[in-house]
Structure 1
Amino acid sequence: MSESRTAPVKAVDEQRAGADDLPAAASSASPTWWVWLAAWPVTAVFILSNAATPLYVLWQRDIGFSKGTLTVIFAFYIVGLIGSLLVCGVVSDRLGRKPVLLPALGLALAACVIFATATGVAALIVARLFTGIAVGAVVSAGMAAVTDVAGQNRKRLAALLASCAMVFGAGLGPLLAGVLSETAPAPTVTVFLVEMVLLATAVLAVLRMPVRRPTAPAKGAWIRVPGVPRGSGLHLALGIAVFAPGITATSFVLSLGPSLLSGLLGTTSRIVAGAMAFAMFLAATGVQFAVQRLRRRTILTAGAISTTLSMVTLIVAVHTSSVPVLIASALLAGAGQGMGQLGGLSLLNSTIAPQRLAEANAALNVGGYIPAGVLPVSAGYLSDAIGLTDGATVFGVVLMSLAVIGGLVVVASRRRVPEPA
């Protein structure tokens, strides 16, 4: 075997050899139910991440702002998230999962209070910023905590549950908000009171979570662009190549989906908007259970294909004013994100030792969320300028091209580097 092919294997061995420096309680084989419960804080925070989606039509009516401003509010979530990812992955690997997760849950609770009392765009921006910071913490420290609790022998289960916790929560949030805002009094208040109760249960789960603080000495800067150890760069790149277009597609549906529904269906029903988002992320959850036993690169290739088809159907939907085709586009977008996320997390879990795993998770999400913030915002302003149909078309063509490129990168990598065990 050539040196270029054995180098990644050596790097992985060195990383695993250092894993003993991190005495996570997971290594003592925690019960399986704890692996599931460890994923609950991820779900609870991601419920908040999209709970505001069906409510924006109410705030637009009461406060008054354009689709462009709406995407800016959404983008501040991305700003908070990426800023959090630059810190939380490294801090979690050095100080432990709980010192990162507990403050994040506190910020999420604060975001709920601000959302419930918001009377202007500035308040919505601050609430979204706090939400993004909390989400950045759970996608790095929270997902790594699930792997810690699962232990070495259940890494595939850990990747599956961490990924599904994220997408299921992201879908449950808008459905819960849509139903409560249509059926309960004080629609922009009740939703966040319920979410505060859910977050409180997540705090209890983190306090009891069987993980310990690391003992490995700190190396490098505390605030830095997250990365992965030598030998794992290709696996990170493959995950980003598919995950980034997938999550950008779902971000577009979340930010401008209600506007598309209003234009195509003539409805501002918050239940309909929430149900479409829930169906999208339910597809993202279900597809991961369906493909979990496939090879990781096969999962990634399928994810790229799904995102490509999602953009094709989006373009058809806006030009034919077809709601069923728009829903099909959302379902395909969810499946694309789900498979890209699962494939990326599984590759990282299989090659990176616990003391760098939260940082690696952060790196994957930085690569995904940057385009997920930039492209939908651009599409929002473009739609204000040239119309929603043409703006969505341009977005669809650009993202479809990125998804195709991502799929080709994954296919090409099969011939050069064998898949990790």
Structure 2
Amino acid sequence: MPESRTASAKAVGARETAVDEPSRATASPPPTWWVWLAAWPVTAVFVLSNAATPLYVLWQREIGFSKGTLTVVFAFYIVGLLGSLLVSGVVSDRLGRRTVLLPALGLALAACVVFATAAGVTALIVARLCTGIAVGAVVSAGMAAVTDVAGPHRKRLAALVASCAMVFGAGLGPLLAGVLSETLPAPTVTVFVVETVLLATAVLAVLRMPVRRPAAPAGGAWIRVPGVPHGDGRRLALGIAVFGPGITATSFVLSLGPSLLSGLLGTAGRIVAGSMAFVMFLTATGVQFAVQRLPRGTILIAGAVATALGMVALATAVHTESVPALMASALLAGAGQGMGQLGGLSLLNSTVPPQRLAEANAALNVGGYLPAGLLPVSAGYLSDAVGLPTGTTVFAAVLLALAAVGGLTVVVSRRKVADLA
């Protein structure tokens, strides 16, 4: 009888769980277009993340600050992003994607207002900090939402769509800002008015998004360094080893690329600076579609090689004052980030359960954005002290070494991690 009661209780519990958490096997998945629409908030927020890039030269002239200060303004974005990642992934996994995404979009809208009215470095720092917090929430909760909407049978599609949404938005922002700031009045205002409209449409997408609140969230502290379930640490480390150098390379182009164009190479147009960033991230988007069917290990190794070659091209550009070499370095940096990001997300999506996925995404981005914040800032201050060519060369040499180590680590690990095949 006791065993019978236990079995009966288990059966009732199973029925209650089935009622509380609709089965993905029986519920019809949302159509594929919803997977793409679910990624729109990621794109909209990442448009904001880099929209200020072509405007920094303009602010530098109007407000007056050094290259070192410029990279500090950029670094506050990283500070906000990393702080957000300590919380947003866990909160999203426990309370739901929408609970995190809506406040993040509200903060992004506030950042638009601060950018549009900025009259000093402090305002730029505040705007970048708010943007970083919003981006941190979106890269964890937003990317996980794309995977949730896609369902268990479209995980590789979800990784591709989420990753491309991020890099396409990151590239569209500076292009949009460059064109609008040179063709319309009030260059530092009009850009953020347009971005406000884009963010408003993202709010509507989140409100209609077919995602449910998690039924069985994981435990642990609410504020913590994000991680992955036991057994997935190697996959996370491999993703960071390639994604980290890749996104650091693109961060350098975003923060000091306009200065290279306007100072060293004598090209001052904001459309040119915005176009360089756009082409960089367009490459990051396109290369992911090109390699999506390759083994994950091959994608990661190719990403490391692209980043390393990008650093060779960057050093060549500053020593030869070559715009084509600088453009080549931007394209290779974009390819390196795109493949590192796709490979890292695909590895995590393949094994991490939904109730830990946002936290896993946060962990990948913490590992990537730490060097992306520290190294360009160091290069900026070093360039102020010893000159832009020397500072850039040192940065390129350090990142080349990191990319090489990352690629070799993936090569060594291919036999130990089945998902790399």
TM-score w.r.t. the length of structure 1 is: 0.94
Report the residue type matching 1:97 in the other structure: R
Report the residue type matching 1:99 in the other structure: T
Report the residue type matching 1:416 in the other structure: K
Q: CA deviation at 1:332?
A: 0.1
User: In the alignment, is residue 367 of structure 1 matched against residue 372 of structure 2?
Assistant: no
Instruction: Tell me the residue number matched to 2:212.
Output: 212
Report the residue type matching 1:401 in the other structure: A
Report the residue type matching 1:313 in the other structure: A
Instruction: Tell me the residue number matched to 1:407.
Output: 407
Q: CA RMSD in A?
A: 1.6
User: Aligned runs of 1:6-405 on 2, under 5 Å?
Assistant: 28-405=28-405
Structure 1 residues 383-419: Cα deviation after superposition (integer angstroms, max 9, x where no partner) = 0000000000000000000000000000000122322
Instruction: Report if the CA contact (8 A) 2:350-2:419 is conserved.
Output: no
Report the residue type matching 1:388 in the other structure: L
Report the residue type matching 1:410 in the other structure: V
Report the residue type matching 1:143 in the other structure: M
Seen in structure 2, the aligned counterparts of structure 1 residues 23 and 353 have a Cα distance that, compared at 3 Å, is farther
Instruction: Report if the CA contact (8 A) 1:314-1:329 is conserved.
Output: yes
Instruction: Report if the CA contact (8 A) 1:97-1:211 is conserved.
Output: yes
Q: CA deviation at 1:58?
A: 1.0
Structure 1 residues 185-229: Cα deviation after superposition (integer angstroms, max 9, x where no partner) = 000000000000000000000000000101114410000000000
Instruction: Report if the CA contact (8 A) 2:112-2:196 is conserved.
Output: yes
State, as a whole percentage, how many aligned pairs show the same letter: 83
Instruction: Tell me the residue number matched to 1:14.
Output: none
Q: CA deviation at 1:21?
A: 8.7
SS of the aligned residue for 1:28 comes to coil
Give unmatched runs, 5+ long, in structure 1: 1-17
Q: CA deviation at 1:264?
A: 3.7
Structure 1 residues 9-67: Cα deviation after superposition (integer angstroms, max 9, x where no partner) = xxxxxxxxx99996597963100000000000000000000000000111111111000
SS of the aligned residue for 1:65 comes to coil
Instruction: Report if the CA contact (8 A) 1:24-1:213 is conserved.
Output: no
Report the residue type matching 1:413 in the other structure: S
Instruction: Report if the CA contact (8 A) 1:93-1:214 is conserved.
Output: yes
Structure 1 residues 86-137: Cα deviation after superposition (integer angstroms, max 9, x where no partner) = 0000000000000000000000000000000000110000000000000000
Instruction: Report if the CA contact (8 A) 1:90-1:358 is conserved.
Output: yes
Report the residue type matching 1:343 in the other structure: G
SS of the aligned residue for 1:369 comes to helix
Report the residue type matching 1:284 in the other structure: A
Instruction: Report if the CA contact (8 A) 1:228-1:356 is conserved.
Output: yes
Report the residue type matching 1:263 in the other structure: G
Report the residue type matching 2:400 in the other structure: M
SS of the aligned residue for 1:367 comes to helix
Report the residue type matching 1:196 in the other structure: T
Report the residue type matching 1:415 in the other structure: R
CA distance in 1, matches of 2:203, 2:108: 11
CA distance in 2, matches of 1:417, 1:69: 43
Seen in structure 2, the aligned counterparts of structure 1 residues 296 and 420 have a Cα distance that, compared at 3 Å, is closer
Instruction: Report if the CA contact (8 A) 2:218-2:355 is conserved.
Output: no
Instruction: Tell me the residue number matched to 1:5.
Output: none
Structure 1 residues 339-363: Cα deviation after superposition (integer angstroms, max 9, x where no partner) = 0000000000001110000000000
Instruction: Report if the CA contact (8 A) 1:242-1:407 is conserved.
Output: yes
Q: CA deviation at 1:250?
A: 0.1
Report the residue type matching 1:113 in the other structure: V
Q: CA deviation at 1:262?
A: 1.4
CA distance in 1, matches of 2:187, 2:403: 37
CA distance in 1, matches of 2:186, 2:84: 32
Instruction: Report if the CA contact (8 A) 2:54-2:273 is conserved.
Output: yes
Give unmatched runs, 5+ long, in structure 2: 1-16
Instruction: Tell me the residue number matched to 2:14.
Output: none
Q: CA deviation at 1:268?
A: 1.4
Instruction: Report if the CA contact (8 A) 1:112-1:195 is conserved.
Output: yes
TM-score w.r.t. the length of structure 2 is: 0.94
CA distance in 2, matches of 1:217, 1:210: 18
Q: CA deviation at 1:230?
A: 0.5
CA distance in 1, matches of 2:329, 2:115: 30
CA distance in 2, matches of 1:344, 1:162: 12
SS of the aligned residue for 1:419 comes to helix
Structure 1 residues 353-379: Cα deviation after superposition (integer angstroms, max 9, x where no partner) = 100000000000000000000000000
Instruction: Report if the CA contact (8 A) 2:160-2:342 is conserved.
Output: yes
Instruction: Tell me the residue number matched to 1:13.
Output: none
CA distance in 2, matches of 1:25, 1:19: 10
Bigger radius of gyration = 2
CA distance in 1, matches of 2:20, 2:371: 36
Report the residue type matching 1:111 in the other structure: A
Structure 1 residues 231-272: Cα deviation after superposition (integer angstroms, max 9, x where no partner) = 100100000000000000000000000111113431211000
Instruction: Report if the CA contact (8 A) 1:23-1:213 is conserved.
Output: no
Instruction: Report if the CA contact (8 A) 1:45-1:199 is conserved.
Output: yes
